[in-house]
Amino acid sequence: MDVCVFGAGAVGGYLAARLAGCGRHRISVVARGLQFDALRTGGLQLSDPQGDLDVSFAAVVEVAADLPPQDIVFVTLKAPSLPAVADDLRGLLRPHGFAVFVSNGIPWWWNHGLDPPTCQVMRVDPEGRLRDRLGADRALGCVVYSANQVVAPGKVVHQANNRWVLGEPDDTLTPRLTTAVELLQTAGLGAEISTDLRREIGIKLLRNAAFNPLCALTRLNAGDLAAAPDLAALAQNLSDEVTAVMGAIGWPLPPFRIADVLGSDGGPGARSTVKPSMLQDAEAGRPMEVEALVGQLQQFARERDLRIPTIDAVYALIAGLDAAVRRQGSIF
Residue 15 pLDDT greater than 60, yes or no: yes
Residue type at 166 in one-letter notation: L
Residue 236 pLDDT greater than 90, yes or no: yes
Range of 7-11, 241-245, 273-277 with top mean pLDDT? 241-245
How high is the pLDDT of residue 191? 98
- Give residue limits of the domains in the chain: 2-195, 199-327
Residue type at 176 in one-letter notation: R
Q: Looking at the domain 199-327, which fold is it?
A: N-(1-d-carboxylethyl)-l-norvaline Dehydrogenase; domain 2 (1.10.1040)
Contact (Cβ atoms closer than 8 angstroms) between residue 35 and residue 6: no
- Is the CATH number 3.40.50.720 carried by domain 2-195? yes
Report the distance separating Cα 89 and Cα 64, nearest Å: 8
Contact (Cβ atoms closer than 8 angstroms) between residue 220 and residue 231: yes
How high is the pLDDT of residue 118? 67
- Could you give the percent of the chain with pLDDT greater than 90? 83
Contacts of 120 (CB under 8 A, 6+ apart): 299, 303
- Could you give the percent of the chain with pLDDT greater than 70? 96
Average pLDDT over residues 115-143: 89
Of 83, 88, 74, nearest in space to 109 by CA: 83
Residue 270 pLDDT greater than 50, yes or no: no
How high is the pLDDT of residue 116? 76
pLDDT per position as a tens digit, 31-73? 999 999 999 999 999 999 988 999 999 999 999 999 999 999 9
Q: What is the pTM of this model?
A: 0.93
Strands 93-102 and 70-75: parallel
How high is the pLDDT of residue 262? 55
Report the distance separating Cα 156 and Cα 150, nearest Å: 4
Three-state SS across the chain?
Answer: CEEEEECCCHHHHHHHHHHHHHCCCEEEEECCHHHHHHHHHHCEEEECCCCCEEECCCEEECCHHHCCCEEEEEECCCHHHCHHHHHHHHHHEEEEEEEEEECCCCCCCCCCCCCCCCCCCCCCCCCCHHHHHHCHHHEEEEEEEEEEEEEECCEEEEEEEEEEEEECCCCCCCHHHHHHHHHHHHCCCEEEECCCHHHHHHHHHHHHHHHHHHHHHHCCCHHHHHCCHHHHHHHHHHHHHHHHHHHHCCCCCCCCCHHHCCCCCCCCCCCCCCCCHHHHHHHHCCCCCHHHHHHHHHHHHHCCCCCCHHHHHHHHHHHHHHHHHHHHCCCC
pLDDT per position as a tens digit, 184-218? 999 999 999 999 999 999 999 999 999 999 999 99
pLDDT per position as a tens digit, 310-330? 999 999 999 999 999 999 887
Average pLDDT in the chain: 93
Bridge partners (DSSP) listed for residue 166: 142, 193
pLDDT per position as a tens digit, 78-116? 999 999 999 999 999 999 999 999 999 999 999 988 877
Active site residues: 204
